[in-house]
Structure 1
Amino acid sequence: MAPTTSETTISNPTSTSSTLQDITNHTLDPERGAPGSKKELINLLRGWPSPSLLSPSILQSATKALLSDPSLFVPALQYGPDPGYQPLREELAAWLGQQYSTSTKSDEICITGGASQGLACVLASFTDPSYTQTVWASAPCYYLACPIFEDAGFGPGRIKAVPEDQQGGIDIDLLESMLQKHEAQHQHQPSHRNVPERKNADPYRKHYRHVVYLVSTCSNPSGTTMSLEKRKRLVETARKHDVLVVSDDVYDFLQWPISSDASAPPSSELGALLPRLSDIDLSLPPSEAATSSGKWFGNAISNGSFSKLLGPGLRTGWVHGTPDFIMGLSQTGATRSGGAGSQFAAALLAEVMKAGELGRHLQEAVRPGLQRRHRLITETIKHELGELGVTVAAQDGGRFGGYFVWLTLPGGLDGKAVAQKARQDEELIVAEGEMFEVRGDEAGARFKGNIRLSFSWEEEHKMEEGVKRLGRVLRGLLGEKC
């Protein structure tokens, strides 16, 4: 998510780093250096696309086409149908079907106001804190997802961290064990099925007993991708325990081959994509636990967004799931009062997709640009930080993607102390590992010895300089420990 809302500044209220708290509270301008500093601020926290990765000319052409035709602009400027602008649902179904090699249908897609708003609507419609037991979040976790769960009634004690394993992605064995332990602890309490629900789910929705949240491809912050075998096992686990799996799939189309040849040119070839968890769920017969009132709601959904593809300001995304789940999601109260979010932007994006501009932009600009940036930052880390003992999270499988690299610090260094000293001494903003602990269950998985660096935002020369500044910070702190 993830990746899914803006990451302008630190927003974790548990952080005790005074400098980063000052940035959060706007007593320091995150766009400028400290007063009197001669150094230009470098922000390697911000998970935004660089201006060079945006697409104003594509949107300009699509806007002209949209606003010159009354048959297009009249519905675009009116209230939209609850599941979203139908031409965009159809264009997305065709395009997603090609990307994932599936037969995606338009009635499996609901248009949202972006992945974060989509997650909030899913929780509003398909969970009830008086019935839904727990949210299980993969850790390290996209930190801005936690407040969305809190707003839905899942605060401390109701959200649990499930660490990633060495193979990448959420640890399925541990999740299964935690679910079984949870159910054993609650079997002598009044059955959750006998607890009166506060929300009205019928006839279009149901409430799930558990929610699992993760970023299954190019996870934020670790960059790991779950294997096909693990995806299948996660869906099987969800079906056994009445779980709704929500996967933020915002980086699926931002992947590229990893080459050991540093001189090889960037490649825009995406290659075969792993199936979404929602694809795996849809390929199986309906499960009893995910069926209610004769409808099949499924156990896994894909939460997608145009934010990383064409620009976060478009505030448009989609959810993919069973047709019954999609119809139920479209009945969220805030959606019915005005229709699906982002009606005009959805119409604009439909024109972009009709013209084939989305795929062209990804192939010619976004993927090569991110691949080049990723190669630069990893080479600079190796050159500047490798001798200090800094390690980068494994990037196996012949491909990588997303916006971030996840570093493990040497010598027992504390990421919070590193982030504070980097801001104070080097005008450098980095994300401390503790930000990505699951809020409300920080002890469930600790990341004090990690930091995350973004390679998507700063211009390439500033990104390279930022890593060099980080090296000076680490050398100073390691020297103090000797």
Structure 2
Amino acid sequence: MRDIPLPHINLQKGWPSRRLIPREHVQAAAEATLTDPDRGIDALLYGPNKGDPALRERCAEWLSGLYGLSVVPERICITAGASANLASIMQAFSDPVYTRRVWMAEPTYFLACTIFEDAGFQGRMEGVPEDDEGLDVEWLRSHIESVDAETKANTETEASPQAYKTIPTYRKLYRHIIYCVPTFSNPRGRSYTIKRREELVRLARQVDALLITDDCYDFLLWDVQDPGPSSEIREPQSRSINEQRKLHPPPRLTDIDRILPGGDEVWGNAVSNASFSKVIGPGMRCGWAEATPQFIIRLNQTGSILSGGAPAQFASTVIEHVLRTGRLEDHLVNTLIPTYRTRAARLRRAVQQTLGPMGVTIDSDNGTDGIIGGFFLYITLPVEFNVDNLAELALDKYNLRVLAGARMAVKGSKHLSSIVSQGIRLSWSWEEEEQIVQGIARLAKAMNDPELVKN
């Protein structure tokens, strides 16, 4: 009798589950938009460069409530999502000669590396280690100073162009790019402390760096309710919108750059890059950016936007309706957050009970300000395990997919740490609770499998 193949379990995929997509809300919003003669026509025409004014206003209101800070529409533009906008930011504010390095938190969101390569930085991306507070600022400072000194020495002895891009078109270029996910990070699930955020902004100002933060998980947050293996999993209870808003994510780096005295009030040194992909659906291909008003204007003068107008014009008008009617906040508070909170607790418990006795440790959930959130739990395995071999065996033999080891390294990184080489990212966003627990059980079997080639 042939064995029945195991159903596939995917603990790598950082997508919302199919059942969590608010299709009915989007459908109602699309119908309402298209049946309004003026709004419907506007939705199907070219949009203003900075995006739909109504959505920019709604975003400002929503973000003000989320962060407990004043956000104004002049600091916001609508984008085609965080990935596409990362490319746009690099087009507008970096130069393959003038900009010396791209510095990325490591372990990193690995798909960002290709975007930076497309911008001309192949071989000039550096992985930056993290400590318990966030990016290691002193490590970063030391290495930036070393690169700056080396570049200065080379330019004094070689007749080479200082930049390919020239003013007045490119009115502001940055000498360094620093990329990170400071809140509920991908892949580690950690959040930077306020102190470290301020230190990063001060450093960026000193070395002419642009901090690009991927702020796509900030709104998926809940209070710490499952502190250890002895506690009972508490089933989530629905919160009102006002109760949920008492839980504010930490201020973004662009907030700190705006508030902290002594910064560049024209261009700034930080831009928040965010998306509706995690709360409505990645197929909308719509997000937003926030920075100084002048930065936002320049960002929307890249060639593709001057030619085609605002990206995601139709999607943005639909999303504006979902925001305006309160359906987005309701979906967040009463569907997404309770679901993810329960799944996260189940995943954490399964790891502690099943993998903990095998020496596996949980790296995520430093619980900054008593909150956790996002999509991911990051674990580290004992040094005898080759996590890349383990991931391959888990997929081939146990039909379990996880993201492991070298795939989370910055391309060309010279400083690979055990956090990267022994790490596995686990997602709770795609699979249901039962599949999550089964997945961890399969991972344990793969770790004990005699076919596994260890270090």
Q: Could you say whether these structures have the same fold, taking a TM-score greater than 0.5 normalized by the shorter chain as the test?
A: yes
In structure 2, the partner of 1:262 is 232
Displacement of 1:368 in angstroms is: 0.8
**Which of the numbers 387, 395, 403 marks the counterpart of 1:415?**
387
> Could you tell me how far apart the structure 2 residues matched to 1:373 and 1:367 are?
10
| Cα 1:479/1:221, change in 2 over 3 Å | closer
> Could you tell me how far apart the structure 2 residues matched to 1:454 and 1:477 are?
26
| Cα 1:479/1:38, change in 2 over 3 Å | closer
> Structure 2: 5+ residue runs without aligned partners?
none
- Equivalent residue letter for 1:188: A
Superposed CA offset, 1:330-361 (max 9, x none): 10111111111100000001111110111111
Displacement of 1:132 in angstroms is: 0.6
Displacement of 1:197 in angstroms is: 2.3
In structure 2, the partner of 1:476 is 449
Secondary structure (helix, strand or coil) at the match of 1:221 reads: coil
Superposed CA offset, 1:91-110 (max 9, x none): 10111111112221111011
2:173 equivalent to 1:207: yes
In structure 1, the partner of 2:82 is 115
Displacement of 1:194 in angstroms is: 8.5
**Which of the numbers 190, 195, 220 marks the counterpart of 1:224?**
190
- Equivalent residue letter for 1:52: R
**Which of the numbers 427, 432, 452 marks the counterpart of 1:459?**
432
Deviates more, 1:73-82 or 1:400-409: 400-409
Superposed CA offset, 1:391-433 (max 9, x none): 1114233322111111111252011011011112111111112
**Which of the numbers 268, 272, 286 marks the counterpart of 1:316?**
286
- Whether contact under 8 Å (2:177, 2:210) holds in the other structure is yes
| Cα 1:417/1:480, change in 2 over 3 Å | closer
Q: What are the within-5 Å matches in structure 2 for residues 316-465 of structure 1?
A: 316-397=286-367, 398-445=370-417, 447-465=420-438
**Which of the numbers 180, 189, 212 marks the counterpart of 1:246?**
212
| Cα 1:422/1:442, change in 2 over 3 Å | farther
- Equivalent residue letter for 1:53: L
Query: Structure 1 segments of 4 or more deviating over 6 A?
Result: 191-194, 478-482
- Whether contact under 8 Å (2:257, 2:268) holds in the other structure is yes
In structure 2, the partner of 1:160 is 126
- Whether contact under 8 Å (2:212, 2:270) holds in the other structure is yes
**Which of the numbers 168, 171, 174 marks the counterpart of 2:139?**
174
Superposed CA offset, 1:38-60 (max 9, x none): 21111111111011221011112
In structure 2, the partner of 1:275 is 251
- Whether contact under 8 Å (1:111, 1:341) holds in the other structure is yes
- Whether contact under 8 Å (2:12, 2:402) holds in the other structure is yes
Identity fraction in percent: 39
In structure 2, the partner of 1:284 is 260
> Could you tell me how far apart the structure 2 residues matched to 1:103 and 1:478 are?
57
- Whether contact under 8 Å (1:412, 1:449) holds in the other structure is no
Secondary structure (helix, strand or coil) at the match of 1:453 reads: strand
- Whether contact under 8 Å (2:95, 2:173) holds in the other structure is yes
- Equivalent residue letter for 2:425: R
2:199 equivalent to 1:233: yes
> Could you tell me how far apart the structure 2 residues matched to 1:219 and 1:131 are?
29
Root-mean-square deviation (Å): 2.2
> Could you tell me how far apart the structure 2 residues matched to 1:55 and 1:150 are?
35
Deviates more, 1:199-208 or 1:78-87: 199-208
- Whether contact under 8 Å (1:388, 1:475) holds in the other structure is no
> Could you tell me how far apart the structure 1 residues matched to 2:415 and 2:390 are?
21
> Could you tell me how far apart the structure 2 residues matched to 1:134 and 1:80 are?
34
Deviates more, 1:47-56 or 1:143-152: 47-56
> Could you tell me how far apart the structure 2 residues matched to 1:72 and 1:345 are?
12
> Could you tell me how far apart the structure 2 residues matched to 1:108 and 1:200 are?
25
Secondary structure (helix, strand or coil) at the match of 1:161 reads: strand
Displacement of 1:204 in angstroms is: 6.5
- Whether contact under 8 Å (2:364, 2:379) holds in the other structure is no
Secondary structure (helix, strand or coil) at the match of 1:183 reads: helix
Secondary structure (helix, strand or coil) at the match of 2:111 reads: helix
> Could you tell me how far apart the structure 2 residues matched to 1:422 and 1:93 are?
44
> Could you tell me how far apart the structure 1 residues matched to 2:405 and 2:430 are?
19
Displacement of 1:205 in angstroms is: 3.6
> Could you tell me how far apart the structure 2 residues matched to 1:103 and 1:194 are?
45
Superposed CA offset, 1:62-94 (max 9, x none): 112101101111111000111111110011011
Superposed CA offset, 1:271-301 (max 9, x none): 02211100111123564xx57xxxx111001
> Could you tell me how far apart the structure 2 residues matched to 1:139 and 1:477 are?
31
> Could you tell me how far apart the structure 2 residues matched to 1:54 and 1:201 are?
44
- Whether contact under 8 Å (1:161, 1:445) holds in the other structure is no
2:153 equivalent to 1:188: yes
- Whether contact under 8 Å (1:113, 1:342) holds in the other structure is yes
Deviates more, 1:471-480 or 1:379-388: 471-480
Secondary structure (helix, strand or coil) at the match of 2:134 reads: coil
| Cα 1:174/1:317, change in 2 over 3 Å | same
2:105 equivalent to 1:127: no
